[in-house]
């Protein structure tokens, strides 16, 4: 491959076949890392090649390393003498980029992960001297993703957007707030393109508890007629729909392709599901008259009232009277309100700092009365309301993230092994006692509307 082609086509791979990477290829990749610059040409790198499953399991269970290292054939731990921390990070990063490009040329999947867990525990397990900085893990393995043309490459920002000359000139800042009301459609589009592609295809990006998934499945699996799903993004909920005509609406083509490529579809099945962009939705010749059901799963709490109203305006012109729309979303709730208040108090109004809601942008539980008023004003009649889980079921995941954060040495809080203690078991027991009883003060709402004949 030509150099520029490697740069433009290389992508991180997190899904691997059960096939070893040869020692020759691993050493070739590390040798590429050694050709990187280092301050004063000191070349103070050290590498550990990890392919023993028992050692991997120790890192996962004791140091809370990411469980992804279990799926990779080999892991290269990249270190540098830490006498000067800035030099260590700089030198390690430059070597890693060479390694990633080399692995792509060899058609070996790779990914650099900095969420490697508790560095002190890792050093104890692997007997790494204290003076070395663990810069990152590079996971390696053979993968079908390299040859899968259905998996879109991540868009790169236009160079004009990131360059200024002689002095910094603002090119437009990124929206970071939890509050969806200040996010414009372009901000969400930007977030979907550049911030959200963090894991492997089919990985559910929302934090959703198993009990919440059961509610979602029950609402989706018996839908009749053609379906329009709004902002499916990662495609994880599409697998719960019956196999009939589905339109998957996203803000842009890249996100739409990503959602569909996450589904394990046979070639003969690909005709029943179609990606739709916001731009396509607004065209006069785009026909949705056969759509009988519209769904918005765990996304109403992530868009502003203006965007919701704009969407309903378009749908009101495209859909037939009698079309049903189902919203499943988290709603304002005593425990959720306290949790979000404490979250902002501790970390500020920045969705990127916690990882809790960072996979899709803003987050604010819906006010059912406000949502109902918007629908009523756009010609929809509410026909059903159900609320579940006074104790929020997804607090299971929050508890896991808190414990995993501390167990990993305050470095990460996702993709860890499940941690069990008295607190987590007690909350599981409370959720079992709570069950699926309907309540007026739930944390998860199912709302259904019907489009009236407004002609």
C-alpha span between 192 and 195 (Å, rounded): 6
- Domains present along the chain, CATH in parentheses: 3-147 (3.40.109.10), 180-383+444-451 (3.40.50.150)
pLDDT, one tens digit for every residue, the chain (455 residues): 588 888 888 888 888 999 999 999 999 999 999 999 999 999 999 999 999 999 999 999 899 898 889 999 999 999 999 999 999 999 999 999 999 999 999 999 999 998 888 999 999 999 999 999 999 999 999 988 776 655 667 778 888 888 888 988 877 678 888 999 999 998 888 887 777 665 656 666 777 888 999 999 999 988 999 999 998 877 788 888 888 889 999 888 878 877 777 776 666 666 788 889 999 988 888 889 999 999 999 999 999 999 999 999 999 999 999 999 999 999 999 999 998 898 888 888 888 777 666 667 889 999 999 999 999 999 999 999 999 999 999 888 888 888 877 777 777 666 566 778 888 899 999 999 999 999 999 999 999 999 987 55
């Amino acid at each position: 491959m030509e150099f520029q082609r490697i740069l433009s086509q290389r992508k991180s791979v997190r899904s691997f076949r059960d096939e070893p990477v040869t020692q020759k290829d691993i050493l070739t990749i590390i040798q590429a890392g050694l050709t990187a610059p280092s301050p004063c040409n000191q070349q103070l790198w050290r590498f550990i090649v990890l392919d023993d499953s028992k050692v991997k399991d120790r890192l996962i269970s004791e140091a809370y390393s990411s469980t992804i290292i279990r799926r990779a054939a080999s892991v290269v731990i990249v270190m540098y003498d830490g006498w000067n921390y800035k030099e260590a990070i700089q030198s390690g990063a430059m070597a890693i980029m060479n390694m990633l490009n080399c692995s792509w040329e060899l058609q070996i999947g790779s990914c650099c992960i900095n969420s490697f867990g508790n560095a002190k525990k890792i050093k104890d397990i692997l007997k790494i001297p204290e003076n070395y900085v663990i810069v990152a893990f590079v996971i390696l393995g053979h993968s079908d993703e390299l040859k899968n043309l259905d998996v879109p490459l991540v868009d790169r920002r236009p160079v004009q957007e990131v360059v200024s000359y002689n002095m910094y000139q603002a090119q437009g800042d990124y929206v970071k707030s939890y509050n969806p009301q200040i996010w414009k459609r372009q901000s969400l589009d930007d977030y979907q393109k550049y911030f959200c592609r963090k894991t492997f295809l089919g990985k559910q990006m929302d934090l959703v508890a198993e009990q919440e998934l059961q509610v979602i499945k029950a609402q989706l699996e018996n839908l009749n007629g053609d379906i329009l799903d709004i902002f499916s993004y990662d495609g994880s909920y599409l697998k719960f729909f019956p196999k009939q005509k589905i339109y998957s609406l996203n803000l842009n083509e890249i996100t739409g392709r990503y959602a569909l490529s996450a589904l394990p579809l046979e070639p003969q099945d690909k005709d029943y599901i179609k990606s739709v962009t916001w731009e396509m939705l607004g065209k006069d010749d785009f026909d949705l008259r056969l759509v009988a059901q519209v769904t918005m799963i765990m996304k109403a709490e992530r868009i502003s009232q203006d965007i919701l109203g704009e969407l309903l305006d378009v749908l009101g012109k495209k859909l037939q009277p009698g079309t049903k729309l189902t919203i499943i979303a988290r709603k304002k709730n005593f425990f959720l309100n306290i949790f979000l208040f404490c979250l902002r108090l501790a970390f500020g109004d920045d969705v990127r700092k916690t990882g809790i809601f960072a996979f899709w942008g803003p987050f604010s539980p819906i006010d059912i009365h406000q949502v109902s008023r918007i629908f009523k004003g756009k010609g929809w009649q509410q026909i059903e309301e159900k609320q579940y889980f006074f104790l929020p079921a997804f607090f299971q995941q929050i508890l896991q993230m808190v414990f995993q954060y501390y167990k990993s040495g305050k470095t990460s809080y996702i993709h860890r092994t499940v941690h069990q203690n008295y607190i987590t078991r007690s909350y599981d027991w409370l959720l079992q006692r709570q069950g699926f009883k309907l309540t007026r003060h739930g944390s998860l709402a199912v709302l259904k509307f019907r489009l009236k004949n407004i002609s």
